[in-house]
Chain A
Amino acid sequence: MLKQNPYQNVRYQWGAYAVFFALIALIPLSMDDAFLLNQLSTYGVYGILALSLSLCWGFGGILNLGQGIAFGLGAYGMAMTMQMQTQDAADPIPPFMLNNGLDALPAIWEPFANTGLGIFLALAVPTLYCLIFGALMFQARVSGPFFAIMTLAMLSAIYTVFIDLQYLTNGVNGISPPQSLMLGSLEVDPYSTTSFWGVYIVLLVCTIAAKLITLSKFGLIVRAQNNDAERVRFLGYNVAVYETLIYTISGLMAALAGCCFAYLTQYVSPSQFDVSFSISIVIWAAIGGRGSLLWAILGAFIVQGAQSYLGDEFLNTWILILGFFFILVVRFLPTGLAGLVETLLGRLVSGGISLSPGIEQPSKSSE
């Protein structure tokens, strides 16, 4: 009788989450460098993004190369809200619009004058986008690499539109609200512990939600359709509904990350829709381990941490190394670092026999 790999034990997994978040909670208590704290908060944003992609790609098998869409839309919504907070009735038009020769506030901007409505829209618009785009694609049974290409196409289309709509989005310069976010009378200073807690509580909530989803019956069907969509269809499930839902949930999380990003950096620009940013998200999840929520987050921390540790003068070489590393991971270690840990733990327990089934893509049978 073989012992179970502790990696696959759900109780240990919850334990690992508890340890991870407890360690994170120690950071603001032991640090008073506001700049570093702000940087670590942005890592939390990257963590949420990697988590959202892991949920959609690792568990659902839906490779989303356009995760930047939901992220960017969320970030723009938040930045617009923050920008409108600094405007008042006497001066309702943001300065860059005046530079573009507008004499009235565009209708699209008006709801963002209300902070609550603005934040709601920052989350609702990307979610709705994912719902519509996902439903269109999955009902037509577009899946696998084809779906990935379509998300990339939409990303590139939205990128050009946001640059082109100069009078609404300030083009390539982006929007940089002059003040911190105000929630009622609470000022969310991006360099404070408050904003650090804000980001990591979002990450915690998203992680727990994602874990519960993967453990639920819904999550089981999502994972089943990843393995063999046709068989799940024969069992009477509407696969498109499950695919659309998991894609939309993942998009909502990315939108949350976008909101956090906007209040942390007080800046958004079309570079959030840049293909290279969405590539980074995929690289984080792939290196950490797409099939593991926690390892995807750690992947983001490791890659981004290494990038900022090595500094700007080394950046060009670093991207080259990262690219090579990514190729190696895809080629030899499709489960990422998580798979490595899983195998090692399995060896440790059962003395040489690997129990890890891995999450290699099954070769798609012809339809």
Chain B
Amino acid sequence: MDIGSITSAVFLGLSIGSVFLVAALGLAIIYGTAGVINMAHGELIMLGAYSTFMMQTVLGLPFFICIPLSFVIVGFIGYLIEKVLISSLYNRPLDTLLATWGVSLVLMQGVRIIFGSDPKYVEVPSFLSTNIDLGIVNLSTFRLFVMFICLIMVLATWYLFYRTTFGIKVRAVTQNKDMAASFGINSSRIYSITFAIGAGLAGVAGSLFGAMNIVLPTMGTSYVVEAFLMVVAGGGGLLGSILASALTGQIQSAFAFIYNDTYARFLVFVLIVIFLRFRPQGMISAGASRR
């Protein structure tokens, strides 16, 4: 237990936490606004990774341009899903969960039929595949890049939801849909756009995770459960999700330091279950109605 290994564990925790948060952010926005548990979120991440892969191999676009483009592509897919399916299920929360679960099955299987089950790889610029040695800790540049994008995503989301007219409308609809409607806010339009933004953020997450690991039709499932736990433990809001991701990242890193990665994952899950026993509303409760 020297300073170096503790610092590197803390950095690893921050890095794990930022991955959680990148995966969870879109989910938190959709859940926080519309109360929809989007089980297809993992598959939207997967679609982001595949669209990045396609843009690189077919169009030859550089990685940095692929990231915003996956936001647009997956956001549009999310918009379609919301319009066609979810918009008619808003008063049936359990059925929304099931329907989006069906969507995830269809997306995963569709991608498997089109692209096959063999892994695909996303190319990254060479300077992102190096390591930076800071004396005490040795960090992968790509992990730092993920943290940086994570920060941008959080700031952009915060700005959109708390500093723009659109954000005021979203929060109005979240707090009281009928009252907002009586002030002329089209709530179903707000829901659609929010869903599209959440899906778009999943697309960005997909670009990053596709480059970090390999691209597979099943890659989404490994992120979605953790992303959900962040949202649930955080209490459904933006700030709660950030806090939960940061804390869970640190805890998992600490456990992984003592035991191994699998036990760390298992212990973190059990800890969240126990935590929710004593604080079912999550870390930061929205104060509004609990769904």
B residues apposed to A, CB below 8 Å: 37, 85, 88-89, 91-99, 101-103, 105-106, 109-110, 112-113, 221, 225, 228-229, 232, 260, 262-263, 265-266, 269-270, 272-274, 276-278, 280, 289-291
Contact = CB atoms under 8 A, between A and B. Distances in A.
A286 B225 contact: no
A344 interface: no
B109 A323 contact: yes
Interface in A319-359: 319-320, 322-324, 326-327, 330-331, 334
10 contacts: A140-B278, A146-B280, A148-B94, A164-B262, A317-B113, A324-B106, A331-B88, A331-B99, A361-B95, A366-B291
Contacts of A319: 105, 109
B interface, by DSSP: helix, strand, loop or mixed? helix
A157 B265 contact: yes
Contacts of A331: 85, 88-89, 95, 99
Contact of A334 (B95, B112, B228, B232): B95
Contact of B97 (A63, A140, A316, A327): A63
A330 B112 contact: no
A161 interface: yes
Contact of B102 (A144, A145, A327, A366): A327
A105 interface: no
Contact of B273 (A154, A156, A275): A154
A161 B221 CA distance: 17
Contacts of B98: 63, 282, 286, 326, 330
Contacts of A149: 37, 225, 228-229, 232
9 cross-chain pairs, A with B, having the tightest CB-CB distances, nearest first: A366-B289, A323-B105, A327-B102, A323-B106, A164-B262, A157-B269, A326-B102, A363-B91, A140-B280
A142 interface: yes
Contacts of B228: 149, 152-153
A150 interface: yes
A133 interface: yes
B106 A327 contact: yes
Contact of A157 (B101, B106, B221, B270): B270
Contacts of B103: 323, 327
A364 B109 contact: no
B290 A366 contact: yes
B40 to A, nearest CB: 10
A360 B96 CA distance: 12
Interface in A271-314: 275, 279, 282, 286
A322 B85 CA distance: 16
A282 to B, nearest CB: 7
B277 A136 contact: yes
Contacts of B274: 136
Contacts, number: 128
A367 interface: yes
A148 B277 contact: no
User: Which of A137, A141, A152, A316 has most chain B Cβ within 10 Å?
Assistant: A152
Contacts of A145: 37, 93-94, 96-97, 291
Contacts of B221: 275
B86 to A, nearest CB: 10
A158 B269 CA distance: 10
A141 B109 contact: no
Q: How large is the interface on A (under 10, 10 to 19, 20 to 34, 35 or more residues)?
A: 35 or more
B259 to A, nearest CB: 10
A161 B266 contact: yes
A87 interface: no
A140 B276 contact: yes
Given A279-B105, A331-B95, 11 more contacts: A144-B291, A145-B94, A282-B98, A316-B113, A320-B113, A323-B103, A327-B85, A331-B89, A361-B93, A364-B291, A367-B289
A363 B92 contact: yes
B93 to A, nearest CB: 5
A115 to B, nearest CB: 30
B112 A144 contact: no
A145 B35 CA distance: 10
B98 to A, nearest CB: 5
Contacts of B273: 133, 136-137, 150, 153-154
A161 B95 CA distance: 30
Contacts of B276: 137, 140, 142, 150
Given A140-B280, A144-B94, A150 B109 contact: no
A361 B277 contact: no
A304 to B, nearest CB: 16
A194 interface: no
Contacts of B262: 160-161, 163-164
Nearest to A57: B94
A139 interface: yes
A152 B266 contact: no
Contacts of A286: 98
A163 B265 CA distance: 13
B265 to A, nearest CB: 6
A156 B225 contact: yes
Nearest to B275: A140
Contact of B272 (A139, A153, A364): A153
A363 B90 CA distance: 9
User: Which of A148, A286, A324, A330 has most chain B Cβ within 10 Å?
Assistant: A330
A330 B102 contact: yes
User: Which of B94, B228, B280, B290 has most chain A Cβ within 10 Å?
Assistant: B94
A157 B105 contact: no
Contacts of A322: 105
A152 B265 contact: no
A367 B99 contact: no
Contacts of A140: 276-278, 280
Contacts of A324: 102, 106
B15 to A, nearest CB: 20
B99 A316 contact: no
B5 to A, nearest CB: 23
